């Protein structure tokens, strides 16, 4: 044997146990092979082979024992399956012990998965489409739910194209539904305390009261209009029943609004008596048990191709069942409240009804291609299902046929926007899984155009209003396993099941959602349909809709949809509502935490940028300051003395407000149509980028008398504005809207410097205090509050408002205040927010991005009514409504045109 072979043998055998010895018998083999046949030699050969087999077995046994010894001897940092050397492992193992194959197989069983899913919903509720979204979306935990925010793949432009030309699908099942039942007159009397006719149509609007249209209204605290708004809600009346005054009303509200709205409804309806839910009895489904557990007889044999099921005789408890609806709610929690005086009943139907929203001009094409009107059944059949009982009534079947005919008319409509806004259509459809295409297809419209005037009142009726029908449909839903078995028995693969199973009829409700209804451009953009389903049927309708080529949007697309419609998004754009205030506080804490996670050298110094509030919008302070400025008749240009006067005035008002409650700011919304039309005309509305003016009616021009008269009623008000940049740039969140000086407008008129002016850098006089506090806290407490002198390297602009006049000069109090300082941020209390920079601030941006429809940067936000009127009064007719926009992280101003769309 060569030296190389010897080394190779030693390398292979060095890991073998030392107790195993291999006899060197190569000479014997050679000797036996060289001799001729001899019985004696043959006997010796058998003895040798037996000896070799025994040695081989002993060697393998030694290896096995060594391996078992190494496996049993584990360290604290290794797992059982990690004890083997790496070269002996056959697959990569995880550090999670539960991910071993046997354990994971047990965890992935259906019953164990349901128990695990139910446990994970204790803090945040899952929608029925949660698992589908969790595989494809970035999930966020908001408002007590786990919701999809944005897709993991790039589809921003595709989603915009879907909203503009095809269809975008969203799951809005997290919206809360509150049901009111009682006499019509008593319900309207109670709800009238939450609204006002001055703010527009109320719950008593004729078309909405009949049940033909869905209505929307701004809800206020009882008897507090217009000072204390709660938020916007949509409502839907059930059509009247002939000869009965009993009515049923559904109110849909955002989850952040429910905690404020539900107590108000209980107060005005006098529903203080809680109705405890009855104890749910344990119902044993004898039919299912008979199918799953065959009789123990000699004739009972297992069916080939089916899985063997475990017997439930030795089970310790009932099998796991999926929680539908709000499974985190305790069984003893009341969901109904009754009034003993007027008989009104309030039911909380949160998570009891699935709600999908389809946005786009071809939403009706997707619905028509996905849904089919329910087919009839044999009237002689008697069972516990709701549809056979429904078919036995001729009047109900006649109504169902009328609804099916109207639904078929939708095939001839060219665009969803052709329908009247808020149209309601009730219908009963077959299980959409029965007509699921084998591949994804794109639903396209018919060429024929048809204008639909409206749906008759009887056809707005739907059995989804009945609690018993909803429970019957949910409890008797066909499982996926049974449906797949029925499909396997079809002769032609992919064809429809015939006859349709009796459990495959679902009552639904279609509610039309109007698109953009304000402004002069993109009219009816973003119109669509809302699809209301019983709980438990979410995925049964979701997958067929996805197979029709729709795009799926999350919370991010909801904000973009509102932005393109120039509509405020709740609760972000409702700063005067309790939900909006809570949202602003939560967002400020989130942005501040994100800001602190970056090192000081890698984050923006907002003090040097002249941004006093980068993470929140102090609307109350802005409204108060502009009220003082307009009352004192200040000019457009700001001076240091004026800023000091405003600061002193605010300080005196804060002292007075200790004994007198301060006046809260209000928001001029679309309900104040007359005031908004006047403001819109004074701003001279134009198209995007200010290209051409829009036609407006004859209205009085702005003057000092008109401004004084307008401010007498709306001095502490804000107004919703649509901002379009006149040049390049993209508005960001919390961007400042400022007043241009005459020199700025002159440069814009001469086509010079159209990019906008530049904000001079400010001085951060808190930076030295923070450094002294870090080096020597005791020395920092006794240091002077005078700001550092300029170093001469660059020109620093210092205003009187830059100095914190409210900071105490007491060293002890100064040390307490300096301990809360954050480098780059102004501490509380804030200086003057209106006159802090070289340009006076009149408002902020709440939504901003590049608009694909306009081809420029667009933003939405609020401005002070007093500041806007003061600005318009000092501007020429050529530059009416032109402001400056500056992002918080930039020193560059850009010209923008504001429009108030009515």
CATH of the domain at 401: 3.30.1360
* Burial class of 753 by CB neighbour count within 10 A (0 to 12, 13 to 18, 19+): middle
**pLDDT of the residue at 214:** 94
**611: which residues sit within 8 A by CB, 6+ positions away?**
736, 888
Indicate the pLDDT class of residue 493, thresholds 50, 70 and 90.
Answer: confident
pLDDT one-digit tens code per residue, 770-781? 777 766 655 544
pLDDT one-digit tens code per residue, 642-663? 545 555 555 555 544 444 456 7
Q: Is the pLDDT of residue 341 over 60?
A: yes
Same domain? For 591 and 541 the reply is: no
Higher pLDDT, 474 or 787: 474
* Burial class of 764 by CB neighbour count within 10 A (0 to 12, 13 to 18, 19+): buried
In a domain, 362, yes or no: yes
End-to-end CA distance of the chain: 99
Look-up of token digits 């006859």: 499
Same domain? For 560 and 590 the reply is: no
Say which CATH number the domain at 703 has.
2.40.30.110
Same domain? For 526 and 582 the reply is: no
Buried b (16+ CB within 10 A) or exposed e, 396-429: eeebbeebbebbeebebbbbbbebeebbbbbbbb
- Report the alpha-carbon distance of residue 232 to residue 211 in Å, rounded: 19
C-alpha dihedral (491, 492, 495, 498), degrees to nearest 10? -20
Same domain? For 601 and 461 the reply is: no
Same domain? For 608 and 475 the reply is: no
pLDDT one-digit tens code per residue, 209-264? 999 999 999 999 998 888 889 999 999 999 988 888 899 999 999 999 999 999 99
Kindly report the pTM of this predicted structure.
0.79
**pLDDT of the residue at 377:** 78
- Report the alpha-carbon distance of residue 300 to residue 290 in Å, rounded: 12
337, 345 in Cβ contact below 8 A? yes
3-state secondary structure of 845: strand
User: By mean pLDDT, which of 44-53, 312-321, 600-609 is the weakest?
Assistant: 312-321
Indicate the pLDDT class of residue 324, thresholds 50, 70 and 90.
Answer: low
What's the token pair of residue 644? 């000091």
**pLDDT of the residue at 313:** 42
Paired with 125 in beta bridges are 145
Cβ atoms < 10 Å from Cβ of 350: 22
**Overall average pLDDT of the 150-176 stretch:** 93
In a domain, 302, yes or no: no
User: By mean pLDDT, which of 110-114, 418-422, 502-506, 637-641 is the weakest?
Assistant: 637-641
**pLDDT of the residue at 577:** 93
Indicate the pLDDT class of residue 127, thresholds 50, 70 and 90.
Answer: very high
- Report the alpha-carbon distance of residue 587 to residue 183 in Å, rounded: 42
pLDDT one-digit tens code per residue, 858-894? 999 999 999 999 999 988 888 888 999 999 999 999 9
Same domain? For 559 and 669 the reply is: no
187, 345 in Cβ contact below 8 A? no
Indicate the pLDDT class of residue 88, thresholds 50, 70 and 90.
Answer: low
- Report the alpha-carbon distance of residue 28 to residue 506 in Å, rounded: 87
**pLDDT of the residue at 758:** 92
Tell me the Ramachandran region of residue 335: left when phi exceeds 0, alpha when psi lies from -120 to 50, beta otherwise: alpha
Same domain? For 211 and 268 the reply is: yes
- Report the alpha-carbon distance of residue 793 to residue 761 in Å, rounded: 12
What's the token pair of residue 809? 């000069």
- Report the alpha-carbon distance of residue 334 to residue 273 in Å, rounded: 10
What's the token pair of residue 140? 């966020």
Higher pLDDT, 848 or 902: 848
Domain span holding position 343: 169-274+333-376+386-479+501-565
Q: Is the pLDDT of residue 1 over 70?
A: no
pLDDT one-digit tens code per residue, 3-16? 888 887 777 666 66
In a domain, 323, yes or no: no
Same domain? For 442 and 546 the reply is: yes
Q: Is the pLDDT of residue 31 over 50?
A: no
| ∠ Cα 425 426 431 (to 5°) | 120
Q: Is the pLDDT of residue 496 over 50?
A: yes
Same domain? For 537 and 667 the reply is: no
680, 696 in Cβ contact below 8 A? yes
In a domain, 743, yes or no: yes
**pLDDT of the residue at 572:** 92
In a domain, 792, yes or no: no
What's the token pair of residue 78? 């290794």
In a domain, 417, yes or no: yes
User: By mean pLDDT, which of 122-136, 514-528, 838-852 is the weakest?
Assistant: 514-528
Domain end among 565, 597, 618: 565
- Looking at the chain, the number of H-run helices and the number of E-run strands are 28, 23
Same domain? For 459 and 411 the reply is: yes
Domain end among 519, 538, 565: 565
Helix boundaries (H) for 453-611: 467-475, 480-488, 538-546, 555-564, 578-597
pLDDT one-digit tens code per residue, 277-312? 766 544 433 333 333 333 444 444 444 544 444 444
Share of the chain above pLDDT 90, in %: 40
What's the token pair of residue 661? 């409650």
Cα of 98 vs its chain's centroid, Å: 32
> Phi first, then psi: what are they for 142, rounded to 5°?
-140, 140
Helix boundaries (H) for 357-462: 363-370, 386-391, 394-409
**Overall average pLDDT of the 366-373 stretch:** 91
Task: Quote the number of domains for the chain.
Answer: 2
**pLDDT of the residue at 450:** 40
In a domain, 311, yes or no: no
- Report the alpha-carbon distance of residue 349 to residue 180 in Å, rounded: 10
Same domain? For 450 and 599 the reply is: no
**Overall average pLDDT of the 746-759 stretch:** 76
Q: In 3D, which of 762, 491, 802, 774 has the Cα closest to residue 644? A: 802
Q: Crossing angle, helix 640-656 and helix 619-631, to 10 degrees?
A: 110
Paired with 711 in beta bridges are none
**pLDDT of the residue at 366:** 92
Same domain? For 561 and 592 the reply is: no
Average pLDDT, the chain: 79
In a domain, 283, yes or no: no
What's the token pair of residue 115? 């128990």
Q: Is the pLDDT of residue 85 over 50?
A: yes
| ∠ Cα 457 459 465 (to 5°) | 95
What's the token pair of residue 14? 């060095």
pLDDT one-digit tens code per residue, 689-748? 666 677 666 677 888 888 888 998 888 999 999 999 988 889 999 999 999 999 998 888
Domain end among 565, 595, 621: 565
**pLDDT of the residue at 269:** 93
Q: Is the pLDDT of residue 326 over 80?
A: no
Q: In 3D, which of 864, 837, 843, 875 has the Cα closest to residue 636? A: 875
């Amino acid at each position: 044997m060569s030296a190389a072979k010897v080394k190779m043998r030693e390398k292979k055998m060095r890991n073998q146990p030392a107790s195993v010895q291999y006899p060197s018998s190569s000479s014997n083999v050679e000797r036996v092979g060289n001799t001729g046949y001899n019985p004696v030699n043959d006997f010796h050969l058998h003895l040798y082979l037996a000896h070799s087999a025994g040695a081989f077995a002993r060697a393998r046994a030694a290896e096995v024992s060594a391996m078992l010894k190494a496996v049993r001897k584990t360290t604290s940092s290794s797992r059982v399956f990690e004890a083997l050397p790496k070269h002996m492992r056959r697959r990569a193992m995880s550090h999670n012990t539960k991910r071993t194959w046997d354990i994971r197989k047990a965890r992935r069983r259906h019953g164990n998965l349901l128990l695990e899913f139910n446990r994970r919903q204790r803090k945040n509720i899952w929608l029925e489409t949660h698992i589908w979204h969790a595989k494809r979306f970035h999930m966020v935990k908001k408002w007590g739910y786990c919701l999809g925010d944005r897709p993991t793949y790039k589809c921003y432009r595709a989603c915009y194209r879907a909203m503009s030309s095809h269809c975008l699908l969203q799951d809005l099942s997290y919206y809360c539904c509150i049901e009111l039942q009682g006499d019509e007159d008593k319900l309207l009397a109670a709800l009238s305390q939450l609204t006002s006719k001055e703010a527009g149509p109320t719950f008593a609007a004729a078309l909405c009261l009949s049940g033909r249209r869905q209505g929307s209204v701004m809800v206020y605290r009882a008897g507090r209009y217009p000072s204390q708004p709660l938020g916007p809600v949509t409502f839907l009346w059930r059509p009247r029943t002939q000869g009965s005054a009993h009515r049923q009303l559904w109110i849909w509200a955002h989850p952040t609004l429910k905690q404020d709205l539900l107590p108000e409804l209980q107060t005005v309806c006098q529903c203080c008596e809680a109705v405890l839910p009855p104890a749910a009895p344990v119902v044993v489904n004898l039919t299912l048990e008979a199918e799953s557990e065959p009789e123990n007889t000699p004739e009972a044999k297992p069916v080939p191709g089916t899985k063997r099921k475990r017997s439930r005789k030795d089970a310790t408890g009932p099998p796991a069942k999926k929680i539908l609806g709000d499974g985190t709610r305790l069984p003893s929690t009341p969901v109904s409240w009754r009034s003993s005086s007027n008989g009104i009943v309030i039911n909380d139907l949160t998570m009891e009804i699935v709600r999908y929203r389809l946005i786009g001009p071809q939403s009706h094409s997707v619905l028509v291609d996905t849904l089919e009107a329910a087919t009839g059944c044999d009237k002689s059949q008697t069972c516990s299902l709701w549809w056979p009982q429904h078919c036995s009534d001729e009047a109900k079947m006649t109504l169902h046929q009328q609804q099916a005919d109207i639904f078929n008319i939708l095939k001839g409509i060219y665009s969803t926007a052709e329908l009247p806004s808020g149209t309601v259509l009730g219908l009963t459809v077959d299980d959409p899984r029965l007509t699921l295409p084998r591949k994804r297809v794109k639903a396209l419209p018919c060429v024929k155009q048809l204008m639909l005037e409206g749906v008759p009142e009887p056809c707005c009726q739907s059995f989804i209003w009945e609690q018993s029908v909803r429970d019957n449909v949910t409890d008797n839903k066909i499982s996926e396993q049974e449906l797949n078995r029925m499909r396997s028995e079809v002769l032609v693969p992919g064809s429809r099941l015939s006859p349709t199973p009796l459990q495959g009829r679902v009552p639904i409700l279609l509610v039309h959602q109007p698109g953009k209804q304000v402004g002069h451009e993109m009219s009816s953009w973003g119109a669509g349909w809302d699809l209301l389903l019983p709980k438990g049927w979410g995925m049964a309708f979701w997958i067929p809709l996805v197979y029709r080529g729709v795009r799926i949007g999350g919370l991010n697309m909801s904000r973009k949809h509102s932005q393109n419609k120039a509509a405020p998004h709740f609760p972000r754009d409702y700063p005067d509502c309790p939900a909006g205030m809570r949202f602003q506080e939560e967002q400020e804490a989130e942005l501040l935490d994100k800001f602190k996670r970056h090192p000081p050298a890698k984050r923006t110094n907002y003090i040097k940028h002249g941004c006093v509030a980068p993470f929140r919008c102090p609307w109350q302070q802005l409204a108060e300051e502009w009220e003082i400025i307009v009352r004192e008749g200040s000019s457009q240009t700001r001076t240091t003395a004026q800023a000091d006067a405003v600061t002193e005035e605010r300080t005196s008002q804060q002292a007075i407000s200790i004994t007198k409650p301060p006046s809260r700011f209000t928001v001029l919304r679309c309900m104040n149509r007359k005031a908004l039309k006047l403001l819109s005309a004074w701003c001279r509305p134009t198209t995007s980028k200010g290209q051409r003016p829009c036609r407006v009616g004859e209205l009085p021009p702005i003057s000092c008398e008109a401004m004084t008269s307008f401010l007498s009623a709306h001095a502490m008000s804000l107004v919703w504005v649509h901002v379009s940049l006149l040049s390049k740039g993209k508005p960001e969140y919390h961007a400042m809207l400022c007043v241009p000086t005459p020199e700025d407008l002159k440069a814009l008129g001469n086509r010079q410097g159209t990019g906008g002016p530049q904000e001079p850098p400010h001085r951060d006089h808190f930076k030295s205090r923070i450094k002294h506090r870090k080096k020597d806290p005791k020395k920092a407490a006794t240091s002077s509050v005078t700001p550092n002198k300029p170093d001469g390297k660059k020109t620093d602009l210092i205003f009187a408002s830059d100095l914190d006049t409210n900071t105490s000069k007491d060293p002890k109090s100064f040390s307490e205040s300096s301990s809360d300082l954050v480098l780059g941020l102004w501490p509380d209390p804030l200086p003057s927010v209106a006159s802090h920079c070289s340009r006076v601030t009149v408002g902020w941006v709440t939504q901003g991005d590049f608009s694909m429809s306009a081809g420029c940067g667009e933003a939405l936000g609020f401005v002070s009514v007093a500041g806007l009127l003061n600005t318009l009064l000092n501007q020429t007719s050529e530059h009416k409504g032109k402001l400056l926009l500056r992002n918080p992280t930039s020193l560059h101003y850009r010209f923008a045109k504001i429009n108030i769309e009515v």
